[in-house]
Homo-oligomer: A and B are copies of this chain.
């Protein structure tokens, strides 16, 4: 905070005062969430604070409390924003006729959204799953509804459908989280062993891992996601059919 603190003789040209609702227009939940999302995308989760988000908006931290009940709610809002983006994407391309293709479409778009906001993805594990089902943001519930509905087209009984639902969402989350961050230590090093930081690894005791590391360090990408998804779906539909 500089010196011009709104001194009594004050009102230097653009010095905001109480009630002056910001020079950048009014706040809104959307503006707050979008700003927080940009901040996290740019500088990571640990850079997100009420104070910094407020500063980004040209506003004091306490002003945000009208649009998010607290920091936890702000984090939940980021999850919400991600699912809103997913819904947009899904609405942009046509629904596939086959249930299996449709699940692949959903998975691929989810992967794409997470890839676009890698710093936010961990919140899916820490925040979204920690909230009881019925309290999750509407966009999340609509996603669940969509997956359940598509799975219903496969003609499974209720019990198996729920199993498959859990399997698909669990797989999706696990894969996305694992695949998102490069497992690479130093991206600029040309020698693969050094690039992966393998010289730090007691390779003698971990021969299998040493051999697999280069392959492992490559992203599985959407292809790996789809392969696992197919494996899962095969497993559940064969048991039922």
Contacts and interface: CB of A to CB of B under 8 A. Distances in A.
A201 B69 CA distance: 20
A132 interface: yes
Interface string A108-131: 000000000000001001100110
Contacts of A132: 182-185, 196-197
Given A125-B122, A208-B149, A166 B141 contact: no
Interface in A129-168: 129-130, 132-135, 138, 141-142, 144-145, 148-149, 152, 158-159, 161-163, 165-167
Interface residues of A, number: 70
A200 interface: yes
A231 to B, nearest CB: 2
A45 B34 CA distance: 27
A216 interface: yes
Each complex incorporates copies of this chain amounting to: 2
A228 interface: yes
A126 B149 CA distance: 31
- The dominant DSSP class at the A interface is helix
Given A170-B174, A185-B132, A152 B208 contact: yes
B134 A126 contact: no
Interface centre among A161, A182, A208 (most CB of B within 10 A): A208
A132 B199 CA distance: 13
A213 B149 CA distance: 13
Contacts of A138: 202
Contacts of A141: 201, 206, 209
Nearest to A199: B134
A166 B219 CA distance: 10
Interface stretch (A19-27, A77-85, A90-98, A232-240): A232-240
B184 A145 contact: no
A47 interface: no
Interface in A193-241: 196-198, 200-202, 205-209, 211-213, 215-217, 220, 224, 227-228, 230-232, 234-236, 238-239
A139 to B, nearest CB: 12
B170 A135 contact: no
